[in-house]
Amino acid sequence: MIADKFTEEAERSRALGIALAFISFGSLAGLPKLPVPPLQQTLDMYLKCMSHLIPEEQFKKTKPIVEKFGAPGGMGEFLQKKLLERSEHKANWVYDYWLEDMYLSNRLALPVNSSPVMVFPKQNFRSQSDTLRFAAHLISGVLEYKSLIDGRALPVDYARGQLAGTPLCMDQYNKVFTSYRLPGPKIDTLVAQKSTVMPEPEHIIVACKNQFFVLDVVINFRRLNEKDLYTQLERIRKMADIEEERLPPIGLLTSDGRTQWAEARSVLIKDSTNRDSLDMIERCLCLVCLDEPSGTELTDTNRALLMLHGGGTDKNGGNRWYDKPMQFVIGADGCCGVVCEHSPFEGIVLVRGSPSKLVRAASMSELPAPRRLRWKCSPDIQAVLNVNSHRLVKNLDMNVNKFTGYGKEFIKKQKMSPDAYIQVALQFTFYRCHGRLVPTYESASVRRFQEGRVDNIRSSTPEALAFVKAMANSSKITDAEKMELLWTAIKAQTNYTILAITGMAIDNHLLGLREIAKELKLEKPELFSDTTYATSIHFILSTSQVPTTEEMFCCYGPVVPNGYGACYNPQTDHIIFCVSSFRESAETSSDLFVKTLEGCLKEMQDLCIKGNTEAKPTDSTEKMDGNTKVMKNGSKS
C-alpha cells in the first residue's frame, strides 16, 4: 500500500515536472526581420498550389486574374512596394494583419473553434486532498516559471532539425501571464497588462463549481509556498460548497460567440460589482479550474472532449473563463490538462522543467481568506445563461487514436522526415475518404524572425496528389514507381517546409497584400474576390504536429464546418492522432477518417519495406521531428 502511494506520488511529480512553456520571450535584438517574398514567386506558387485543387474551367479564369495582378506597373507591384515600405518601419510587417485575421476578427466561440488544449496523463486521485495537493504543486510550478520569465532568465530557444541552431524570437513568453482577450462587437482586442514599478499583489482565479475565487499568490512581497496554497485551495473548496452563496454560472458567457459575449459583457459592466469582478479576472495570472467528476468513462477521446468544452452546462462548461490565455483544468476524476486562448502566443511546447533556485517562502502564520467574486445578473443576462446551448458539445465528433503499427523510428530508417511522411499519409487518407485533395493547413513557425508567429505549409501538393492517385491505381503502377512518387511527394513537402520557416511561403504574403489594399482604402483587387482565393483559404484539412516526451496529447476542433482538425504526436514506436470534425456535416466522419488513416499508414509501410531499396533518392530528405513546428488550431494557430 505504501509502495503504491509512493509510486503514485512519483507519477504525479513526473507529470507536474513538465513545465508548460509557450513560445517566445526576450530581446528581439540580433534577429532578422521577416522578409517580404518576391511578388512573382508568390503568385507562381499560388497558381501551382491551386491548379490541381479546383476545376479546370475555374483555373482558366483564375490564371489571367493572377497574371493581371502581377503585371508590370499593375496593382500587385504597387501593393508590394507599400508592403516593403511597411516592413522598413515595423518589426514584423505581417504581425498585426495576421493577428486580426487569424483571431481577433473571428466571431466564432473560442472553445473547440479556436482554443487548443493539451490533455495530461490521467491522474489517479484517491481523495479531494490528493486533487488539491496536485493543484497546489501545479500552481507552485507556474509561479516559479513566471519568475523565470519576469527575471528574463529563460534560455534562448534555438531551432532544431531543418536549419538547426538558429536563435528563435522569445517575445511571446512575455504574454503568457499578462494578456487578456477582450470581446468586441466586431473585433476583439488583445490587452496586455503593463508592468508597474511597485507590483500589486499577484493573484490567480480559481474556478470551482462554476464560482470564481481570488487566490492571492504573492502577499507582502512573499510568494505562497505549496503548503499555504493547499490551505487556500481547501478554503475555496469549502466556500464553493455553501449552496446559499452560489451565484449563476457567469463563465458560460465566455463560451458564446464573440459578438454575443461582447454584448452580454456590456450589460454586465453597467453594475460596479460586476466591473470589479471582471477586473480581477482580466488582471489575473491564469485560471485553475477545479472540475467536478464528469460521470463519463475517461477514454482518451472523452478526456479530449471534456478538455475542449467542459462537457456543457450540466458538467463543467461553466467552470471556465475562455478569455484568459491559460486555464489549468484539474478534475476530481483525474481528467487534467490546459486550455489555451491562442491569440497571444503559439501553441504548446512541452519542456522538462528543472527546479529553479528561487527561495520558497516559509508558511505564513495568517493567510487572508480567498474572496468569492460576486455578480449581479440582470434579467437579460439570466436569459442568455438560460439559453446557452449544448450545440457545440453535441456537434463535436472526436477520435483520439494511438496508432501502434509503427512510429517515427521506422520512418527515420527509411531516411524520410517523420513530419513530411505523416503529412503525405493524411493526404492519402483524405483522398481515399473523399476522392480528392483540398487546401490544407500545416502550421510552420517563423520564430527565426522578429515577432515571428506562423505561416502555412500547403501540404496538398501536386506531388502528393500524384502519389495518392498511384496508390489508388495499384494494379497499373509498379511498387518501384509508387516508391519514387512517395519520395517526390516527401521532397516537395520538405521543400515547402523550408520555404515556410524562412519566411517565403505564400499565405502571409497574400494576406499582407490584401490587407494593405484595404488599409489604403483601395478597391479590393480581383485576385482576392476570385472564387479560387476563397477556396484557397477554406482549410478543410487543418493539421499540426505537437511532439511531446510524455504520454499526453494536444487537440483542437476543425476550422470550417465541413472540415477536419488533425493533430499528431509521433513517438518512437507509435503515433497519437487526434482527429476532430462536426457531426452536423454530412461530408465528414472522424471515425471513418481514423480507420482509413490506419489502413493508409499500413500500406505506406508495406510499400517502403518492398520498394525503398529500388528507389532511394540521391539526396536525403531527412528533416526535423517537427520541433520547428508550433501547434496551430487549424487556420487559427
* Whole-number pLDDT of residue 221: 83
Mean pLDDT of 346-366: 47
Q: How confident is the model at residue 65 (pLDDT cuts 50, 70, 90)?
A: very high
Between 264-273, 354-363, 567-576, the lowest mean confidence (pLDDT) is in 354-363
Whole-angstrom distance, CA of residue 103 vs CA of residue 79: 24
Sign of the Cα torsion 299, 305, 306, 312 reads negative
Same domain flag for 466 and 342: no
Cα separations in angstroms, 335 against 18, 131, 138, 445, 554: 17, 11, 14, 30, 14
Residues 488 and 600 both lie in one domain: yes
Beta-carbon contacts of residue 390 (< 8 Å; ≥ 6 apart): 312, 313
**Angle at the Cα of 306 from the Cα atoms of 305 and 309, rounded to 5 degrees:** 80
What's the mean pLDDT in 37-64?
98
Strands 564-570 and 575-582: antiparallel
**Angle, in degrees to the nearest 10, between helices 39-50 and 507-519:** 120
Please give the pLDDT value at position 270: 96
Rounded average pLDDT over 498-503: 96
615 vs 450, residue with greater confidence: 450
User: Is 133 in contact with 140 (CB distance < 8 Å)?
Assistant: no
DSSP assigned state of 205: E
Q: Is the pLDDT of residue 129 over 60?
A: yes
The pLDDT of residue 160: 76
CA distances in angstroms from 243 to 211, 240, 247, 504, listed in the order given: 11, 7, 9, 58
Co-location of 425 and 489 in the same domain: yes
pLDDT mean across residues, the chain? 88
| Max mean pLDDT range (440-444, 624-628, 630-634) | 440-444
217 plus 329 within the same structural domain:
yes
pTM value is 0.90
- Shared-domain flag, residues 344 and 419: no
Q: In this model, does residue 3 exceed pLDDT 70?
A: no
| pLDDT at 421 (0 to 100) | 98
Q: What is the pLDDT of residue 351?
A: 33
Q: For residue 603, give the 3-state DSSP assignment.
A: helix
pLDDT of residue 356: 38
Q: Is 342 a catalytic residue?
A: yes
Of 528-537, 573-582, 607-616, least confident by mean pLDDT is: 607-616
What single-letter DSSP state applies at residue 102? I
Cell of residue 40, nine digits: 512573382
**What CA–CA distance (Å, rounded) separates 543 from 586?**
21
Asked if residue 372 has pLDDT above 60, the reply is: yes
Compare 612 and 357 and report the one with higher pLDDT.
Answer: 612
Residue 534 lies in a domain: no
Q: Is residue 144 part of a domain?
A: yes
Contact in structure between 65 and 75 (CB atoms under 8 Å): no
pLDDT of residue 207 exceeding 70, the answer is yes
Element counts in the chain: helices (H) and strands (E)? 20, 20
Reported confidence tier of residue 201, pLDDT bands at 50, 70, 90: low
**Could you give the number of structural domains in the chain?**
2
Model pLDDT, residue 441:
98
Say if CB 171 and CB 165 are below 8 A apart.
no
Residues 168 and 445 sit within 8 Å (Cβ to Cβ): yes
Dump pLDDT digits (tens) for 149-192.
Answer: 888 888 888 887 677 788 998 888 888 898 999 999 999 999 98
Q: Which residue, 268, 165, 265, 279, is CA-closest to 212? A: 279
CA distance 517 to 519: 5
pLDDT in tens, 312-327: 988 999 999 999 999 9
* CATH code, domain carrying 548: 3.30.559.10
Contact between 91 and 28 under an 8 Å Cβ cutoff? The reply is yes
Residue with more model confidence, 301 or 366: 301
pLDDT at 365: 59
Q: Does the structure show a pLDDT above 50 at 349?
A: no
In 3D space, the residue among 176, 130, 594, 148 whose CA is nearest the CA of residue 397 turns out to be 594
Contact present, 325 and 286 (Cβ < 8 Å): yes
Domain of 352, CATH number, reads 3.30.559.70
Q: Is 441 exposed, middle or buried (0-12, 13-18, 19+ CB in 10 A)?
A: buried
Q: How confident is the model at residue 97 (pLDDT cuts 50, 70, 90)?
A: very high
In a domain, 35, yes or no: no
* Residue 156 DSSP code: P
pLDDT at 11 over 90: no
Least confident residue range of 29-38, 571-580, 627-636: 627-636
Rounded to 5°, the CA angle 20-23-29 comes to: 135
| Cβ 313 vs Cβ 351: under 8 Å | no
Kindly compute the dihedral angle of the four CA atoms of residues 237, 11, 403, 294, in this order, to the nearest 10 degrees: -20
Tell me which H or E stretch contains 61. helix 56-70
Is the same domain home to 409 and 316? no
* Partners of residue 455 on adjacent β-strands: 444
pLDDT at 341 over 60: yes
At 623 the pLDDT is 38
Please report, as a single letter, which amino acid is at residue 432: R
Closest CA to 285 of 325, 251, 316: 325
Strand partners, 545: 568
Q: Which of 137, 203, 342, 509 is catalytic?
A: 342
Say yes or no to pLDDT of 420 above 80.
Answer: yes
pLDDT at 350 (0 to 100): 36
Chain-centre distance for alpha carbon 15: 21
pLDDT at 301: 97
Same domain, 214 and 347: yes
Cell numbers representing residue 197 in the block: 514599478
Residues 430 and 332 in one domain: no
Query: Region 189-214: what's the mean pLDDT?
Result: 83
Domain boundary residue, one of 320, 344, 364: 364
The Cβ of residue 130 has, within 10 Å, a number of other Cβ atoms equal to 18
* Rounded Cα distance, 251 and 623, in Å: 43
- Establish if 452 belongs to a structural domain: yes
553 and 477 assigned to the same domain: yes
Counting residues of the chain whose pLDDT is more than 90, the rounded percentage is 75
Residue 230 is classified by DSSP as H
Q: What is the pLDDT of residue 1?
A: 44
Say if 531 falls within a structural domain: no
Contact 150, 364 (CB under 8 A): no
pLDDT of residue 618: 42
Residue 66 domain-assigned (yes or no): no
Gap between the Cα atoms of 590 and 565, Å rounded: 9
58 located within any domain: no
pLDDT of residue 194: 67
Q: Are 319 and 396 in contact (CB under 8 A)?
A: no
Q: Among 598, 626, 604, which residue's Cα sits nearest to residue 414?
A: 604
Any domain includes 381: no
Q: Which residue has the higher pLDDT, 559 or 386?
A: 559
Please give the average per-residue pLDDT across 602-623, as a whole number: 68
Q: Are residues 333 and 425 in the same domain?
A: no
The boundaries of the domain holding residue 434 are: 397-504+539-613
Percent of the chain's residues with pLDDT above 70? 87
Q: Check residues 612 and 351 and name the one with the higher pLDDT.
A: 612
Beta-carbon contacts of 220 under 8 Å, excluding residues fewer than 6 positions away, are none
Quickly count: other Cβ atoms within 10 Å of residue 217's Cβ.
21
Q: Residues 272, 186: one domain?
A: yes
pLDDT at 611: 78
> pLDDT tier at 389 (50, 70, 90 boundaries)?
low
**What is the average pLDDT across 466-473?**
95
The three grid cell numbers given for residue 291, joined into one nine-digit string: 472540475
How many Cα atoms within 13 Å fall on the side-chain side of residue 318? 19
Instruction: Give 312's contacts (C-beta < 8 A, 6+ positions apart).
Output: 390, 392, 393
- Residue 460 DSSP one-character state: -
How would DSSP label each residue in 322-371?
A: TTSSEEEEEETTS-EEEEE--SSSEEEEEEEPPPP-PPPPPPPSSPPPPE
Exposure letters 51-84 (e unless 16+ CB within 10 A, then b): ebbbeeeeeeebeebbeebbeeeebbebbbebbe
SS3 472: helix
Lowest mean pLDDT among 38-47, 171-180, 212-221, 578-587: 171-180
Strand partners of residue 222 = 219
d(CA 248, CA 243): 11
**pLDDT band at 521; cut points 50, 70, 90:** very high
- My answer on whether 464 and 596 are in the same domain is yes
